[in-house]
Amino acid sequence: MRVEKVKYVLWAADWQRCLRFYRELFEGVVSFESEVWSEIVIAGATIGVHGGGEGKRTWTGLSFQLDDLREGIARLLECGGTLASEPNDTPEDTLHLAMCVDPEGNEFMMTQRRH
């Protein structure tokens, strides 16, 4: 047996909106698209988008590490996402983690390595 691909699956009430969000926010590449099942590749990882979701707020465990979290937050908001809570940015604890929500209610993290 050989593992061919590892996928992380999100549910979406509006699968096209979900694909558009991740394509625009992270420059994802859609590798397969249909009303029931779609796949988008981001930084080599495949995210499956399953149509027919309820759009309820759901924690996913999904995390994206960025080189510039401030830019990521600005892009998140431009692309229709929201912040679940404002990230902390103090001299003692530099900004490194943002809890985010996509337009379908899927919660995810955006992080930046601490320097």
Residue pLDDT tens, the chain, 115 long: 887 888 999 999 999 999 999 999 999 999 999 999 999 999 999 999 999 899 899 999 999 999 999 999 999 999 999 999 878 776 776 768 999 999 999 999 998 887 7
Residue 82 neighbours by CB under 8 Å, 6+ apart? 76, 100, 101
Q: Could you give the 3-state DSSP secondary structure of residue 73?
A: helix
pLDDT score at 113? 82
**Distance between CA atoms of 75 and 8, rounded to whole angstroms?**
22
Residue 10 vs residues 47, 94, 99, 100, 112: alpha-carbon distances, Å: 7, 30, 16, 14, 23
Domains of the chain: 7-112 (3.10.180.10)
pLDDT score at 87? 81
pLDDT score at 86? 78
**Distance between CA atoms of 67 and 5, rounded to whole angstroms?**
26
pLDDT score at 64? 95
Q: Radius of gyration of the chain from Cα atoms? A: 15
DSSP letter, residue 44: T
Residue 78 vs residues 18, 41, 91, 103, 113: alpha-carbon distances, Å: 14, 21, 27, 12, 23
pLDDT score at 96? 84
